[in-house]
A and B are shown apart, each in its own frame.
Chain A
Amino acid sequence: MTLTAVLQCAGNGRALQRPRVPGVQWVHGAMGQATWTGVRLADLLRRAGIPPGAAHVELAGWDEPPMPTVPRFLRSIPLERALDPTTLVAWAMNGAPLTLAHGAPFRLVVPGWAGDHWMKWLRSVRVVEQEARGFYMETAYRMPVQPVAPGATVPAADMRPLTVFPVKSVVARPGEGARLRAGAIALAGVAFSGAAPIARVEVTLDGGQTWARAALDGPAGAGRWQVWRHRIAAKPGIWRVAVRATDAAGSTQPRDAVWNPSGYFWNGWHAVSFEVAS
């Protein structure tokens, strides 16, 4: 089957966290949307047989850590999510066979969930009773159960695995620092939520005092993005546009994302400044 879904790194936006946290310093680039073709993981599991007591599905890839002393990348997802009809073992992306960079020959596709679940170079799928162990389950890819003060140290017992990515929107046009002519200016970007379809996208030009509703293009759905568009008549000067999205489950992007020790799931308002020349 074929579906369209956003693939986003859990750490997308980490560079925007304050105080700063270690890890790849992603800004907005660790995401993209593609059309994925594969077989439902549920169909594979049912054909293989799901033993009683099974609760999780353990996923391993063919990649090897750089040294034997470095932990292997291993993940599990709950059986319920594995049986979701949108969870695929994919072999094609945008109509072409997966490339090595994208996990050829097979990768998992878990729409709405962060990229760490989308196991690349898939080697084995095991139905098990317990959540997988190891660094990438027990230490990494975990969020505080409750929001914590920026910079706080969080006890391991107060962390849970991250799964569904929160509602988010970004400005794609104009770019930061663009110089434009006065007149009608087209603003555009994307909005998505792992939990639900996008309900609305709003644009502010005054720091959040007033908001205008943007138009949405394309099919709506959880875990896929829609393009938002909005036109303004801009007089000469410096403008700053910010955008926020709300999903059909009622979640709205906060002005400031919730800080967490590994910088996951940044989804604060995205603001872009541009200059309109006379």
Chain B
Amino acid sequence: MSAAGIAFRRALALLLLAGCQSAPAPRPPEPAHSPEPVASSGPATSPEPGPAAIGAADASPEQVIVEACQSCHGRDMLSQQRLTAAQWKRTVEKMRGWGAPVDEAEVEPLARHLASVAGPDAGPDATPSVPAAEAEAALAPQPDGPFADGDVRLGRETYDARCLVCHGDGAHGAKPGPNLIDRPILFRAAEFAERVRKGTGLMRASPDATDDEIAGLLAYLRGETRRQ
């Protein structure tokens, strides 16, 4: 899947940055399946990638991190590691096996870059600790407010127009958008709305999304069921 994967990622990035919503969803090729560990750690948050650089033939490792890692991992998941280039390479290969859109040619530069910023000699990890109550509150359901009682049909249409290209059929996750089914954020409507309107990581902002569209999205996504 390597070359096709990277081409897909680039094409998708261009598509998103161009704000094109009506293009048909490209079908990512099925990646080879090979096991690989890694825990996810919090929502992905990152600066927007520079539009000029996206789609360049040789993406910088930092771009690859934003595009390929931070859909699922917070930056702190990477920065807390203290691994050699060889260990990073194994980790990147594991993630590719799980579907991370990293081209084969990007593996070595990415591993070397990660070892230079999060290698064995990188010093103490600066990730702040989070109080337990805060971590728990970050997942707790919140009232729907203006996003209550959404229209499922409008939500489905909105999903198909704005979200499907990245998050896939039935919102089960594709490249690069993660699964949206049974996610705690579906019951944190205000946070969900902010994520949709402001974007995050590779996810394009949709500042024009109306309250009704967001309420509809919530109604639709809450009604979808997991894969068996």
Contacts and interface: CB of A to CB of B under 8 A. Distances in A.
Interface in A42-61: none
Interface string B118-153: 001000010001001001100111000000000000
Contacts of B184: 100
A140 B139 contact: no
A28 to B, nearest CB: 11
A22 interface: yes
B96 to A, nearest CB: 10
7 contacts: A24-B41, A29-B129, A64-B179, A68-B227, A70-B98, A100-B141, A135-B37
Interface string A106-143: 00000000000000000000000000000100111000
Interface in B60-95: 71-72, 77, 80-84, 87, 90-91
Contacts of A64: 172-173, 179, 181-182, 226-227
A66 B173 contact: yes
B30 to A, nearest CB: 8
A25 interface: yes
Q: How large is the interface on B (under 10, 10 to 19, 20 to 34, 35 or more residues)?
A: 35 or more
Interface string A132-172: 00010011100000000000000000000000000000000
Nearest to A66: B178
Tell me whether chain A's interface is mostly helix, strand or loop, or mixed.
loop
Tell me whether chain B's interface is mostly helix, strand or loop, or mixed.
loop
Contacts of A68: 99, 168, 172-174, 179, 227
Nearest to A121: B182
Interface of B: 30-31, 33, 35-41, 71-72, 77, 80-84, 87, 90-91, 98-99, 120, 125, 129, 132, 135-136, 139-141, 168, 172-175, 178-179, 181-182, 184, 226-227
Given A65-B179, A67-B174, A71-B98, A100 B140 contact: yes
A181 B181 CA distance: 55
A172 to B, nearest CB: 15
B35 A138 contact: yes
A262 interface: yes
B38 A23 contact: yes
A120 to B, nearest CB: 11
A99 interface: yes
A70 B37 contact: no
A256 B226 CA distance: 44
A23 B91 CA distance: 10
B99 A69 contact: yes
A25 B125 CA distance: 9
